[in-house]
Every structure is written in structure tokens, then in C-alpha cells.
Amino acid sequence: MRYFKTTFMWIIVLAAMGGYSYIDFESARIDEKRKDEATRLFPFYPKDVLAITLKKEQSLIEMERWDDGWRIVTPIKAKADSKAVEKFLGYVTDSRNDADYVMDPDPLPERLVEFGLAKPTVKVTFKIGKDLKPYTMVFGDRAPAMGVAFARIEGKKPVYRVLSYVRGEANKDIYYFRDKTVLRLNPVKIDQVTIKRPDVLIRAKLPPDGKWALEKPIKARADHNKVFELFGAFANAEVKEFISETKDHLERYGLDKPQAELLLWESGDSEPTVSIKIGDRSPQKRGFYCVMSDRDAIMLLEEEVVHAVPRQAKEIRSRQLFYFDKDTLKRIEIRADGRETVLVKDMEKEWRRNNVSGEKLDFNLVKSFLDDMMAFEIKDFITDDPGDMKEYGLNPPAMQVLMWPEGSVTPISLSIGSRAPSGYIYAYTGLEKTVLALDEGVERLLKTKL
């Protein structure tokens, strides 16, 4: 009983100590918050700002906060870069009014001239709350050193030192605050893309199985990574320059007859969600002119963004030679020069030579062979309309491998032909129905199994 009482007493003592510690911590936190608020230059935080006006000698920028983010309303109406605006607000509202930052509490006129505040050229006004109460800061010159600039609150006497990048942000042009996003769609929500060029039309879709497939100009499997590299090139890009706020005189920029058009469908849309037309290249600006269906401006895109648009279907075509589950194979045949090797899987999933009662083979050797086969990638797509296969040494082929998955009466086939001028080997698969170029290593691999 004494032991229980002692333990209970210690629990009460520790709880009390914990309570006092928590109270001390809370008190310290509250004091710190009060000190912070007392030294803030402005009595508000970025979230409280509903409108901003940036006024300079030759320009005026007005921005408003909307439910979907910041918008520019003067001198144009456009979506703003909300991250840039909030960054600017964070810098300005973090300015301080304590003794370390007060340069002169009651400056004479000649001191204002010295600070560059007699006729300030940069002014920013914040409107706060439902009544849009204005707070205006005017900026003077940068200080010779220490990385600060001089500023005043309109209607108050003191001159403050603020960090120079606060003045730098207030002095930015409209391009800085404007939303420069090229593709506003989420790439993972896109399920169809069409690329139109004067000489080719490429179309790819994302069917229910989740594997991108080419539909035009040939039906084939698409390379998932290449498709998303295309989307990513536009989604991660920024507009290099806004050429015009209207789509007038498209012929000046080669946009009346674009060299390429990219059509993108968001999942569930029956019509293209967004179209992007690419016009002429500007050698001076080192970019391509562009218009988009979801905005009115003529824009300039970086050259590497436009170069990401495929010119041929094979640029986004899958280069995977085989895409089946090797564990489902039940029979393999390799044929060349009148010789034939047959591998068969028995009921116990063991590989045997010739038939299910033949010589038992090392499972790992067969697995290694299949792994090596599936590791080969297509080096090039030679033609989808081969005509006379003799030209490629494929009628008859020099070598052939046939593989039957379980439950299939039709084999997956690969025919090996003659050497290509490039040093690769011509090949043909029943899956691709295309003459391909493969690394010559595939020939050596098959010969080891004959």
C-alpha cells in the first residue's frame, strides 16, 4: 500500500511540473507573439490583403484576390501568378518598425531628398478587409550598403529601412506578376492527345487498361514515359514573352497556318479541352509564336518546349520488344539453318527439352534467356509497310523464335533478318507488324540456344 501511495504522489508531482512547464511555454509563446506584433510595420498579414496597387513613374498595376487566386485587373485583365504575389506580400508585411529599422523619426525635407523620398517613384497600396482600408508604402533609394532601402508609410513621418528585395519586388514589371503557365491542365487527367502537322497526324489515347496506345497513323503501343514527357514539357514551361493581348494578325506570326497543333483532351471531355498552335520561329527572340484556345494572347514559347512535340509517331511509340508475362509461357521454339530447339513446360512448371517427358532443363538458365530476350529494345522502326520482305532478309528469315503463352494457340513470333546498313539487324514481330532494327546481340543470344 505504501508503494502505491508513493507512486501516486510522484504522478501528481510530475503532472504538476508538466502543467507548469506548459504554462511557461504558453506564456513565452504569447509574449513572443506580442513582441512580434508590436514591431511589425503593418497591422495585417498577407492573408488579409484583398487588393494591391503598384504605381511607378510610367506604369500602374492593379491586382485583386479572388477565390481561385490573384488576378491582374490593370493594365490588362489576366490571371496572376499567385505564388509571386504571395511572395511579395510576405516580404513587405515582414518589414519592422522597431529602433533598428527607423532611419529617421521626423525627417527634414532635405533628408527626404537624401533618402530619395522627396519624389518617390515606387509606391504600393494594400487594401485590407471588407471596407478595403488602404495602407500605402512609398520607396526611396537603396542604401549604399547593408542590403536595405528607404521607405515611408504614407501619412506618417518616419523613414524606415526595409530590406532591398522588398523594394525590388515592388519595382517588378507586369510580366513578373503575371501567370506564365503554359499548360494549365493536370497531365494525369489527360486521356487523349492529337498532334497535327501539315504532313502527318498523330493520335494517342489512354484506354481503360491504363496503357497509352497509338491510333494514328498506326495502331501500336505508345511509350507511357514519352507521352508524359510531352505533357510535362508544356506543363512545366513558362511563357517566354506575351507578344499581343489579342489574336489579331495571326499571319504575322505564322499562326494562320501553324506548323504544328497540339490537341489535348481531359478525361470525360468529348471535344479537345485545350488546343495549342505553334507558328513561326523568331530567330531574334529565340522562341516560337503560339496561341492557345483557353486564352486570348499571342505568346512566345521557349524553343526546347516546341522541340518536344513529336514529328513522327515513332518518337512516342513504345520501343519495348516484348510485353508479355514470361511466367505464362508454355512452349518456346528457336529455328535457324534447318535446326530447331524446342522447350516445353511440364505440369510441374519445369522446363524440358522437346516434350513434357524430355530432358529436364535448369529453370534459372531458361529464365535468364527470357530475361535477356525481354531486355532488348527496338532501336528503330524501319517501315510499317514492308512490301517484299526479301529486301530485309526476312523471306525467309535467317532465324525465328516462337513463344506460346498458356491458353494461346497463336505464338508470339520474332523473325531475324539480314544486317542493316546502320549495323543493326532487321527483325519482324507478329505483335508490331513492322520491320524493326534490333541490336545484333539478339542473334548471338538465339544461337546459344540452338
Nearest CA-CA partner of 242 in 275, 290, 192 = 290
pLDDT, tens digit (0-9, with 9 covering 90-100), for 18-61: 555 555 544 545 555 555 567 788 899 999 999 999 999 888 99
pLDDT band at 212 (very low <50, low <70, confident <90, very high): very high
8 Å CB contact between 213 and 222 = yes
Q: What is the mean pLDDT of the chain?
A: 89
CA distance 202 to 149: 56
CA distance 303 to 288: 6
Domain positions in the chain are 1-35, 46-177, 187-315, 326-447
Q: pLDDT at position 24, please?
A: 54
Region 426-433 average pLDDT: 84
Distances in whole angstroms, Cα of residue 76 to Cα of each of 69, 111, 184, 246, 322: 16, 37, 20, 11, 54
Q: pLDDT at position 10, please?
A: 59
CA distance 428 to 337: 18
Distances in whole angstroms, Cα of residue 270 to Cα of each of 113, 187, 267, 294: 64, 17, 9, 16
pLDDT band at 378 (very low <50, low <70, confident <90, very high): very high
8 Å CB contact between 190 and 264 = yes
pLDDT, tens digit (0-9, with 9 covering 90-100), for 327-376: 899 999 999 988 899 999 998 999 999 988 889 999 899 999 999 999 99
What are the backbone dihedrals phi and psi of residue 256, each rounded to the nearest 5 degrees, phi first?
Answer: -75, -30
pTM summary value: 0.81
Q: pLDDT at position 25, please?
A: 47
8 Å CB contact between 382 and 418 = no
Q: What percentage of residues in the chain have a pLDDT greater than 70?
A: 91
3-class DSSP state of 416:
strand
Q: What is the DSSP string of 260-311?
A: EEEEEEETT-SS-SEEEEEEEEETTTTEEEEEETT---EEEEEHHHHHTS-S
CA distance 347 to 330: 10
CA distance 384 to 309: 22
Q: pLDDT at position 185, please?
A: 95
Residue with cell 471596407: 131
Q: pLDDT at position 37, please?
A: 64
Torsion angle of alpha carbons 263, 176, 303, 222, nearest 10°? -40
8 Å CB contact between 140 and 116 = yes
pLDDT, tens digit (0-9, with 9 covering 90-100), for 215-272: 999 999 999 999 999 999 999 999 999 999 999 999 999 999 999 999 999 998 999 9
